[in-house]
Amino acid sequence: MRPLDGITVVSLEQAVAAPFATRQLADLGARVIKIERPGSGDFARAYDKTVHGQGSYFVWLNRTKESVTLDLKTEAGQRILHELLADADVFVQNLAPGATRRQGLDAETLAARYPQLIVCDITGFGSTGPWADRKAYDLLVQFETGLVSITGTPDEVAKVGISVADISAGMNTYSGILTALYTRATTGKAPAIEVSLFESLAEWMGQPAYYTQYGGSQPLRAGAAHATIAPYGPYPIGDGGTVLLSIQHDREWRAFCGTVLGDPELADDDRFANNAVRVINRDALDKVIVARLAELDTATTRALLDSAGIANAKLNTVAEFLAHPVLAGRDRWRTIAQPRGDIQALLPPATLAGVDIAMGPVPDLGEHTDAVLAGLGYDDQNIAALRADGVI
């Protein structure tokens, strides 16, 4: 038994946020029926063609799901969707603003018709408020929350290299659905859920928001270095390598000065005696560190850091990450099927003792349409007619 065996999720989903949430439900045993447009499907399928002809986003986010094609602009398509919702536990959507309300698929209408159904809407800026009708994509939200203004170098802003707004919304959606399932199980009530990309990323902006509101200025862009902790960032080494080191508190600072820098008295220098002044005097501090590490090679530097108990890392490429000894040593990779060839996928990060995570195949577009319709009582003739009419 998996934790969500017996739970059925119907999802009108596309791109990243909703698919990330529902894939995690599928990992735990939920049956996820993914509704896609006939002919084209989830547009993330075509973002790129790097994974045996499929999009890298799509194969990451859609394993273990059933793909059903439906034209929801047709009466027959709407009828089939409602037949699915009648027996579903969760309905998730992240369509354009107002799209589901225009089709009578808003939370209020569905709650009245299906009291057992947990309805989850993912929006850009919320379903109410002054920006309810605005479209929102990941990078737009990174800009609006101020994230980009604190990311990059002093000379140039930069976006985060992954879809962080979508991912944060997907995580909040996933945890919200688990909470709602628990609430329904204990109270009998199925609460509706709304998650916005903007508010999800706004939560993750908590630290710089407080720093700015009560400190009088926002954190400075510091490239790959930490904006408000020093030393915490990458440094060049004498043999051409780079090491990232992190000092979290004054005990580590003293150990770093004595063991790595070879200058115990530096720990009490007025310019560097605590983190606040080290940040203010970062340029002078960095010159001391760079001068010392220029005398060392990478192996020696990391050995000294390890012996001093200082956290450190090397700058890996994505290819080096894929070959990381921790992933191999902890047996985190699994082989899953994909329509045009098997691929490797990582186990979910939350390991549940005794639970065998579902690591099913990535579906082809409409692969499960006939089987799902047959489960609803449609025969071959009915299905053929629906296909001829462009409904599926």
Per the document, the length of the chain is: 392
Q: Residue 201 carries which side chain, given as an amino acid letter?
A: L
Buried-state track 190-217, b at ≥16 Cβ within 10 A, e below 16: bbbbbbbbbbbbbebeeebeebeeeeee
Is 226 a known active-site residue? yes
Rounded to whole angstroms, the Cα distance separating 332 from 282 reads 39
Rounded to whole angstroms, the Cα distance separating 22 from 12 reads 11
Rounded to whole angstroms, the Cα distance separating 41 from 59 reads 13
Rounded to whole angstroms, the Cα distance separating 120 from 89 reads 11
Q: What is the phi/psi pair of residue 169, to 5°?
A: -65, -40
Rounded to whole angstroms, the Cα distance separating 289 from 273 reads 15
Nearest to 91 by CA among 58, 74, 115: 115
**Of 226, 249, 324, 368, catalytic:** 226
Rounded to whole angstroms, the Cα distance separating 227 from 151 reads 9
273 Cβ contact partners less than 8 Å away, ≥ 6 residues apart = 267
> Are 51 and 25 spatial neighbours (Cβ–Cβ below 8 Å)?
no
Catalytic residues: 226
